Structure 1
């Protein structure tokens, strides 16, 4: 392998992780055309295709997946060693301001930041819990934890959790009285416990998919919340069907307090990512937080 191929491999890794040439270019600080040219050059050098291209995104070929499996552990070890050397020179310090939804702050962020401030007393962390997607630069935040689908193209995003799945749930008493919906269209005849993420936004539409067929439902019911715990409590009390992350309701499903419906219409999707601006210089404190939160499952 030629020496320049090693830097090209780093570009390939960025494209594979970001899913588009555009986001990879922002992450690397180069033009989109430079990224595209590098990938073509690398494929020509290796003698096989690494990526399948479409108008909106790219995906790895079978050969590309095998190459990724080789690259990720090696580059991860290199990054970790470089970070150790950097920390010796520049001990992390200062304030990290991060925003995310309340349940994400409790489940994903809290276990990490408690260890972080214990190991590095000069780091301070401010956590703002807000379900709305805010502009990081305008709001003065260093980072946010968001679902992958809400991450803007100008942000670098690092996975911090596994794939997720939604769950439509109701109490056994409600389903005994009202019946079980067999397809998303049946929700029109049910009370649905909806969520509104901002005072000036419409209630969240429920999105379903089965065998490539998508169904988006504008549901309605007697209750609207901006908090998942309240939706779950209302579902337990029999006020209707709630639509929440499976991980949030799993304990209630296991205990029998809630039952799941429309299961086959809720496929897995990309989970939470920690995102930060590609235009701001990354502090050693934020770099350390990103490394500790990175999902490696």
Structure 2
């Protein structure tokens, strides 16, 4: 019976964790119908319902949740033992899963990943680009890349980028028509390009600071865009003001396609960090990636968030 159930139990663990046949089937490399059939067979053999299915979701029953909690530590132990064996290879190999924001991925992580993966062809890297504050433990990520102030508590954090600044920009044609704001409060009378926060669902309030005075301004406008390149394109097209990382608009400002305003209200703040759980056993492959990121940022300190000023 154990042989018959083992593969299906592993599949059940993925379904229970992902709470989705679609995502679980993709991870397992099987069809949704085959996975659903396997779960029904498992429930029939055990004579207990493990999953509650609806047209839109799937969730463990009380018995399924109990099974999931009991099996999780044992499967994690098996996974760690297999990882230890894999790390005995002469050539580094393994899988690394990372979550990062759009800007962090394009400007910090991707330039390092390209030569890293060429150097280590047996290391597989999966990056999920997500501007929300993803829980890397719940999402089973090895690490995340976020701004220093956004790093979750009780994590090890390695700084991998310098301080950064935000910039408020608009096209020359926009300012010729509407004028320039001189203080953040004047943004209320301007057309601004909003961004919706994926974590909370609300619109992002633009953050400013001057002489210790912090200010958050909720702006309004015709457009709400979560994609950074589209926000930049919209600003250049004169559709409104954009609030974006400074490094993404430096060339456009030099070339006169965009004009910057409220610069004195945009101080520097801590840049990106790679962060990961302090208690998780990591592979040689992951250690190599951390080292590659650290070597590009030797001037930036690494620290445990529990001893830093981060919230």
Q: Normalising by the residue count of structure 1, what TM-score does the alignment of the two structures yield?
A: 0.68
Find the counterpart in structure 1 of residue 298 from structure 2.
296
Tell me by how many angstroms 1:208 deviates.
0.3
Matches of residues 249-264 of structure 1 in structure 2 within 5 Å?
Answer: 249-264=249-264
Find the counterpart in structure 2 of residue 36 from structure 1.
none
User: How big is each residue's C-alpha offset from its partner over 1:242-267, in whole Å with a ceiling of 9 and x where there is no partner?
Assistant: 00000011111111000000010001
User: How big is each residue's C-alpha offset from its partner over 1:103-136, in whole Å with a ceiling of 9 and x where there is no partner?
Assistant: 3222222222222222222211111111111111
Tell me by how many angstroms 1:202 deviates.
0.4
| Runs of 5+ unmatched residues, structure 1 | 1-86
Would the aligned equivalents of 2:194 and 2:204 in 1 still touch at CA under 8 Å?
A: yes
Q: Please give the secondary structure, in 2, of the residue aligned with 1:95.
A: strand
User: How big is each residue's C-alpha offset from its partner over 1:163-187, in whole Å with a ceiling of 9 and x where there is no partner?
Assistant: 1000000001111111110101111
Deviates more, 1:196-205 or 1:163-172: 196-205
Find the counterpart in structure 2 of residue 272 from structure 1.
272
**Which runs of at least 4 in structure 1 moved beyond 4 Å after TM superposition?**
87-91
User: How big is each residue's C-alpha offset from its partner over 1:44-93, in whole Å with a ceiling of 9 and x where there is no partner?
Assistant: xxxxxxxxxxxxxxxxxxxxxxxxxxxxxxxxxxxxxxxxxxx9987532
Find the counterpart in structure 2 of residue 139 from structure 1.
139
Find the counterpart in structure 2 of residue 224 from structure 1.
224
RMSD over aligned Cα atoms: 1.7
Would the aligned equivalents of 2:171 and 2:258 in 1 still touch at CA under 8 Å?
A: yes
Would the aligned equivalents of 2:133 and 2:199 in 1 still touch at CA under 8 Å?
A: no
Find the counterpart in structure 1 of residue 66 from structure 2.
none
Would the aligned equivalents of 1:157 and 1:276 in 2 still touch at CA under 8 Å?
A: yes
User: How big is each residue's C-alpha offset from its partner over 1:227-283, in whole Å with a ceiling of 9 and x where there is no partner?
Assistant: 111111111111111000000111111110000000100010000111111120122
Would the aligned equivalents of 1:171 and 1:258 in 2 still touch at CA under 8 Å?
A: yes
Distance 2:164 2:132 in 1: 19
Would the aligned equivalents of 2:192 and 2:222 in 1 still touch at CA under 8 Å?
A: yes
Tell me by how many angstroms 1:199 deviates.
7.8
Distance 1:140 1:268 in 2: 32
Find the counterpart in structure 1 of residue 309 from structure 2.
none
Distance 1:121 1:229 in 2: 30
Would the aligned equivalents of 1:90 and 1:284 in 2 still touch at CA under 8 Å?
A: no
How many pairs are equivalent? 211
**Which structure would you say has the larger Rg?**
2
| Runs of 5+ unmatched residues, structure 2 | 1-86, 300-311
Would the aligned equivalents of 1:183 and 1:262 in 2 still touch at CA under 8 Å?
A: yes
Distance 1:132 1:271 in 2: 17
Q: Please give the secondary structure, in 2, of the residue aligned with 1:198.
A: coil
Find the counterpart in structure 2 of residue 106 from structure 1.
106
Distance 2:199 2:287 in 1: 34
Find the counterpart in structure 1 of residue 161 from structure 2.
161
Deviates more, 1:278-287 or 1:242-251: 278-287
Matches of residues 7-18 of structure 1 in structure 2 within 5 Å?
Answer: none
Find the counterpart in structure 2 of residue 203 from structure 1.
203
Q: Please give the secondary structure, in 2, of the residue aligned with 1:145.
A: strand
Distance 2:199 2:212 in 1: 33
Distance 2:275 2:123 in 1: 19
